[in-house]
Amino acid sequence: SQQGEEDPQALSIQEGENATMNCSYKTSINNLQWYRQNSGRGLVHLILIRSNEREKHSGRLRVTLDTSKKSSSLLITASRAADTASYFCATHGSGNTGKLIFGQGTTLQVKP
């Protein structure tokens, strides 16, 4: 079964608004990663947060991690139409198994 569950499954906002996507997972992790997928294309890595970190920023992206709740959130600020894509969280389990397990994804539509 998949490690991550994402919420919401779909999100539609206007350009300029912020978009928040949430991810919950089940077991202990080494790190949690967020990926972006444009329609029908390969996934692209956005940001990684380690299990001992609580917040991380990269440009307009802000990721938080709460290991006590086994949850993470991805915030995209000042969204643009070009941010329209699917976003996936993925967890790298503790113990260096090397496997990355993906959530089901959130589809974001940013309307111009």
Number of residues that bind another protein (CB under 8 A): 27
Least distance from C-beta 15 to another protein, angstroms? 26
User: Residue 1 or 112: which CB sits closer to another protein?
Assistant: 1
Q: Report the site for another protein in 29-88 (rule: CB under 8 A).
A: 30-31, 33, 35, 40-45, 48, 50, 88
Q: Are 110 and 36 in contact (CB under 8 A)?
A: no
**Radius of gyration of the CA atoms of the chain, in A:** 13
The b-or-e profile of 8-28 (16+ CB within 10 A means b, else e) is: eeebebeeeeebbbbbbbeee
Residue 50, beta-bridge partner list: 31
CB of 87 to another protein, least distance (A): 11
Chain contacts with another protein (rule: CB under 8 A):
1-2, 4, 9, 30-31, 33, 35, 40-45, 48, 50, 88, 90, 92, 98-105
